[in-house]
Amino acid sequence: MSDSAYIPDDARAKRNVAVLVAAQAILGSQMPMIFTIAGLAGQTLSPNPCLATLPISLIVLGSMLAATPVSSIMQKYGRRTGFMIGAACGAIGGAIGAYGLYTANFYIFLLGSLFTGVYMSNQGFYRFAATDTASDAFRPKAISYVMAGGLLSAFLGPQLVKVTADSMVIPFLGTYLGVIAVNVVGSFLFLALDIPKPKPPVAGAPQGRSRKELLSDPRIAVAVICAMVSYALMNLVMTSSPLAVVGCGFETNDAANVVSAHVLAMYAPSFFTGHLIARFGVERIVAIGLFILAAAGGVALAGVALENFFVALILLGIGWNFGFIGATTMVASAHAPHERGRMQGLNDLIIFGGVTAASFSSGGLMNCSGGTPQEGWMAVNLAMAPFLVLAGGALIWLMMRPKEA
């Protein structure tokens, strides 16, 4: 991307942040909607209970596969075009998922999940778009405010599930029809987005580092590891949580409430995460996030009362917020403007590669690693430990490196 296309202008940046906050709130509500009921719907359609969470895994896989193409489209045609394509794919995914439910065809339902993944990949770029016209001082706050837009989605998504899940004869069909409406309405927000379209590269313009050179930067490498672990572990546990709540004898509405509390905890800290990063340093905030993720696993392992589910998923959301926003801030400050398209696509490709693996593992751990839902839930949370050690070790290594290095 041309450096001249992104002259910092915080007045413009704040207007763009307002648009992206609204998009995160409205369009983003489809993600808690789908994550609440996709595993339950998959359980009714799947020929094998071990595949119940495969629809969620396909969403994450679609997001991983779309990350590089989406970044390239935004690099060439601009953020608005990329985000409109994402909303269109979200609507297509909702339509195909609804048709899969209507025909009771698990494989059509999975195809819809792949298209939803393209939307999910686009949503991931909201946070980067917020920094495009922002100054260095405003950048971490811009990321935090956009992520805070998910606060409304935490209320809106699960409430829509409660209204739509049993609104038709076929369970969850109404929810997927609601997803179509959310994407159609939300897409109009991007007409107000004011981010300059990237200028075509000219002869002699800096090309930036290659992907290999970017990942050889210690700060970028550690940031990507911490972001991947934070997101992957959040997804690992969240994917299984509705199955665990219902499997332990509670109601679907209880599962929706747990997911709502979790999504609320994911985004509510965003109002002050940027300020904490500015005051205490980004590495410390990422470290706190990893510690809170470990605490979430400990609470989940302590029991399967409804209170345990609520506390564990709330801690999981807070830990993700600190870890992921902190790591995103590290990445955003460690590359040049003309490297954005390459770095941001690579970053999300790696992150969602890890999230895809976690999502695929979640269903197997939950449904096939023990004889009861309780045992499966324990296995899911025990699986967090080695990855937290990896991310924590990488972060400690970076913090102990001499400053001149």
Mean pLDDT of 131-145: 82
pLDDT at 369: 72
Residue of higher predicted confidence among 95 and 405:
95
pLDDT at 15: 92
User: Which of 221, 210, 226 has its CA nearest to residue 338?
Assistant: 210
pLDDT at 83: 95
Both structure tokens of 73: 């489209």
| Contact between residue 244 and residue 369 where contact means Cβ atoms under 8 Å apart | no
Both structure tokens of 80: 């608005």
> Is 385 among the domain residues?
yes
Q: Nearest 5°: phi and psi at 115?
A: -65, -40
> Is 249 among the domain residues?
yes
pLDDT at 202: 63
CATH number at residue 275: 1.20.1250.20
pLDDT band at 1 (very low <50, low <70, confident <90, very high): very low
> Is 30 among the domain residues?
yes
Is it the case that residue 159 has pLDDT exceeding 90? no
pLDDT at 404: 55
pLDDT at 9: 66
User: Which of 289, 277, 252, 338 has its CA nearest to residue 136?
Assistant: 277
Least confident of 149-158, 197-206, 219-228, 273-282: 197-206
pLDDT at 201: 62
HSE, side-chain direction, 13 A CA sphere, residue 362: 29
Least confident of 41-45, 165-169, 196-200, 319-323: 196-200
pLDDT digits (tens, 9 = 90+) for 234-258: 989 988 898 899 889 888 788 878 9
pLDDT at 3: 43
> Is 123 among the domain residues?
yes
pLDDT digits (tens, 9 = 90+) for 34-61: 888 888 888 888 888 777 778 888 998 8
* Rounded CA separation 33/47 (Å): 23
| Contact between residue 173 and residue 41 where contact means Cβ atoms under 8 Å apart | no
For residue 251, the enclosing domain spans 3-198+209-400
Is it the case that residue 85 has pLDDT exceeding 90? yes
> Is 244 among the domain residues?
yes
Cα angle 393, 398, 399 (rounded to 5 degrees) comes to 100
Mean pLDDT of 98-120: 94
Residue of higher predicted confidence among 302 and 141:
302
pLDDT at 6: 54
pLDDT band at 19 (very low <50, low <70, confident <90, very high): very high
> Is 18 among the domain residues?
yes
Is it the case that residue 132 has pLDDT exceeding 50? yes
244 SS3 class: helix
pLDDT digits (tens, 9 = 90+) for 362-373: 877 887 777 788
Residue of higher predicted confidence among 21 and 9:
21
Instruction: Give me the chain's average pLDDT, please.
Output: 87
* Rounded CA separation 340/352 (Å): 18
pLDDT band at 91 (very low <50, low <70, confident <90, very high): very high
Look at the chain and report how many structural domains it folds into. Answer: 1
pLDDT digits (tens, 9 = 90+) for 24-38: 999 999 988 888 888
Q: Considering the entire predicted model, what is its pTM?
A: 0.75
Q: DSSP string covering 1-49, please? A: --GGGG---HHHHHHHHHHHHHHHHHGGGHHHHHHHHHHHHHHHH-SSG
pLDDT at 318: 96
pLDDT at 4: 43
The pLDDT > 90 percentage for the chain reads 43
Buried b (16+ CB within 10 A) or exposed e, 377-388: bbbbbebbeebb
Most confident of 34-38, 100-104, 346-350: 100-104
> Is 203 among the domain residues?
no
| Contact between residue 286 and residue 276 where contact means Cβ atoms under 8 Å apart | no
> Is 226 among the domain residues?
yes
